[in-house]
């Protein structure tokens, strides 16, 4: 789609809004619909859109393969790490009540925040990786 | 009004399903499947399940359409003619569908307040949530806090899926 000016310009206009919307869905997930999973998919959709219009190589220059493959386990580690954090301060695994100096709602807020970050990282990088794996396959 | 919207959406879903079955051009099938997902997301919106609608629109209509198109690039665009008669699959599908419809007769009426879903554990979460977590969106509170361990498992499933696809497809990628 090298020559399709309208598509290329529109994509360039859309992509910042897609990522802003993903951030909104991520961080507003405590108050409205959304959360890590939905935001992760929207981030991945933004990258996929870029790859479709500008080509796989351009997308992999912006979001390198090595990076997303590194991010897949990182998200799970962030999630599990929040659990270990609770263990270290003397709570049960994945209990957030005391994460913020004993203030229960603040601790919950903090725990949920980091857990959702973990979900976002794993979901978005997994989706991008699967797309890269499919799109990078040449015809046999 | 809501009933009218539901009827239009469900009729369109049925039409698209018949289209997916009848059309033999796989490219058209992929596009129709994307439209199906979008309609499904609208149905979820009407049911007030905005979280599910968002996921359905992004995953079903977005990512999986792109992945199906990517797979289509590797095969022919016309579906091969069936080699076996469709009688047995038709029988299985009709049987399963009949059993599912029979199962819906046992469900409580839609949206009633005194069903097990709305009186048991669900009501308990709604009552305790604000005092315990201070998170207004109960879905997020249940997902990330009360049942954080489940969600950790789900994240691990997604991780495993990503690793699995990488292991299967990595050796076919051109460069690297």
Q: Per-residue pLDDT tens for B84-108?
A: 888 899 999 999 999 999 999 988 8
| Rounded Cα distance, A102 and B29, in Å | 55
- Examine residue B97 and state whether it is found in any structural domain, yes or no: no
Residue that terminates a domain, selected from B56, B80, B104: B80
- Enumerate residues 6+ apart whose C-beta is below 8 A from B12: B39
Chain centroid, CA A79 distance in Å:
13
Interface test with A, best of B49, B144, B165, B167 (most A CBs within 10 A): B144
- Examine residue B135 and state whether it is found in any structural domain, yes or no: yes
Whether residues B69 and B8 share a domain: the answer is yes
User: Is residue B45 predicted with pLDDT exceeding 50?
Assistant: yes
Put simply, the answer to whether A122 touches B159 (Cβ < 8 Å) is yes
Whether residues B66 and B135 share a domain: the answer is no
Residue that terminates a domain, selected from B40, B58, B80: B80
Whether residues B6 and B67 share a domain: the answer is yes
Burial readout B18-30 (b: 16 or more C-beta within 10 A, e: otherwise): ebbeeeeebeebb
Put simply, the answer to whether B58 touches A31 (Cβ < 8 Å) is no
Grouping H, G, I as helix, E, B as strand and the rest as coil, residue A118 is helix
Whether residues B49 and B5 share a domain: the answer is yes
Closest CA to B32 of B52, B16, B49: B16
CA dihedral B96, B101, B104, B105 (to 10 degrees): -130
Q: Helix axis angle, A5-27 relative to A36-54, nearest 10°?
A: 170
Whether residues B121 and B175 share a domain: the answer is yes
Whether residues B73 and B120 share a domain: the answer is no
Number of domains, chain A: 1
Give the pLDDT confidence score for residue B150 in this predicted structure: 92
- Examine residue A90 and state whether it is found in any structural domain, yes or no: yes
Q: How far B79 CA lies from chain A's nearest CA (Å)?
A: 18
**Backbone phi, psi, residue A137, to 5°:** -80, 120
Give the pLDDT confidence score for residue B176 in this predicted structure: 47
∠ at Cα A65 (A57, A125), nearest 5°?
120
User: Is residue B122 predicted with pLDDT exceeding 90?
Assistant: no
% of chain A beyond a pLDDT of 90: 54
Whether residues B73 and B122 share a domain: the answer is no
- Examine residue B89 and state whether it is found in any structural domain, yes or no: no
Put simply, the answer to whether A115 touches B144 (Cβ < 8 Å) is yes
Whether residues B72 and B120 share a domain: the answer is no
Q: Which of residues 9-68 of A touch B (CB under 8 A)?
A: 25, 29-38, 41-42, 44-45, 48, 52
User: Is residue B174 predicted with pLDDT exceeding 60?
Assistant: no
Residue that terminates a domain, selected from B80, B101, B124: B80
pTM (two decimals): 0.86
Give the pLDDT confidence score for residue B120 in this predicted structure: 83
Q: How far A80 CA lies from chain B's nearest CA (Å)?
A: 7
- Examine residue A126 and state whether it is found in any structural domain, yes or no: yes
- Examine residue B95 and state whether it is found in any structural domain, yes or no: no
Q: Per-residue pLDDT tens for B47-84?
A: 888 888 988 888 888 888 988 888 888 788 888 887 88
Q: Which of residues 68-87 of A touch B (CB under 8 A)?
A: 69, 72-73, 75-76, 79-80, 83
Put simply, the answer to whether B62 touches A116 (Cβ < 8 Å) is no
Whether residues B7 and B54 share a domain: the answer is yes
Enclosing domain of residue B58: 1-80
- Examine residue B102 and state whether it is found in any structural domain, yes or no: no
User: Is residue B171 predicted with pLDDT exceeding 80?
Assistant: no
Whether residues B13 and B71 share a domain: the answer is yes
Put simply, the answer to whether A25 touches B54 (Cβ < 8 Å) is yes
- Examine residue A19 and state whether it is found in any structural domain, yes or no: yes
Interface test with B, best of A15, A26, A100, A130 (most B CBs within 10 A): A130
Enclosing domain of residue A52: 5-135
**Residues of chain A falling short of pLDDT 50:** 140
Question: Does the CB of A127 have a partner CB in chain B at under 8 Å?
Answer: yes
Query: What is the C-alpha end-to-end distance of chain A, expressed in Å?
Result: 23
Q: Which residue among B59, B136, B152 sits closest to A41, beta carbon to beta carbon?
A: B59
- Examine residue A140 and state whether it is found in any structural domain, yes or no: no
Contacting residues of B for A42, CB less than 8 Å apart: 58
Provide the token pair at B89: 């699959």
- Examine residue B172 and state whether it is found in any structural domain, yes or no: yes
Number of domains, chain B: 2
Whether residues B8 and B76 share a domain: the answer is yes
- Examine residue B90 and state whether it is found in any structural domain, yes or no: no
- Examine residue B72 and state whether it is found in any structural domain, yes or no: yes
pLDDT band, very low/low/confident/very high, at B157 (cuts 50, 70, 90): very high
């Amino acid at each position: 789609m090298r020559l399709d000016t309208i598509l290329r310009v529109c994509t360039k206009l859309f992509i910042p809004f897609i990522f802003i919307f993903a951030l909104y869905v991520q961080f507003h997930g405590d108050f409205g619909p959304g959360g890590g999973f939905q935001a992760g998919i929207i981030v991945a959709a933004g990258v996929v859109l870029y790859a479709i219009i500008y080509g796989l190589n351009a997308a992999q220059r912006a979001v390198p393969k090595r990076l997303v493959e590194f991010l897949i386990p990182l998200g799970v580690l962030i999630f599990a790490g929040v659990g270990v954090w609770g263990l270290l301060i003397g709570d049960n695994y994945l209990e957030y009540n005391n994460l913020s100096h004993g203030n229960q709602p603040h601790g919950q807020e903090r725990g949920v925040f980091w857990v959702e970050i973990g979900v976002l990282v794993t979901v978005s990088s997994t989706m991008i990786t699967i797309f890269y794996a499919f799109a990078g396959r040449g015809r046999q | 009004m809501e009933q009218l919207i539901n009827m239009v959406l469900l009729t369109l879903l049925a039409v698209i399903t018949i289209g997916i079955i009848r059309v033999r051009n796989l490219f058209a099938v992929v596009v129709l499947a994307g439209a199906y997902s979008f309609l499904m997301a609208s149905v979820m919106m009407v049911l007030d399940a905005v979280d599910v609608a968002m996921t359905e629109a992004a995953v079903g209509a977005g990512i999986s359409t792109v992945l199906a198109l990517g797979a289509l690039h590797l095969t022919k665009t016309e579906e091969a003619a069936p080699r076996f008669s469709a009688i047995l699959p038709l029988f299985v599908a009709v049987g399963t569908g009949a059993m599912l419809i029979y199962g819906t007769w046992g469900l409580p009426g839609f949206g009633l307040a005194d069903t097990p879903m709305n009186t048991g554990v669900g009501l308990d979460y709604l009552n305790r949530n604000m005092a315990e977590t201070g998170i207004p969106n109960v879905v997020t509170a249940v997902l990330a806090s009360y049942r954080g361990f489940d969600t950790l498992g789900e994240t691990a499933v997604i991780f495993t899926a990503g690793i699995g696809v990488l292991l299967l497809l990595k050796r076919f990628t051109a460069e690297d």
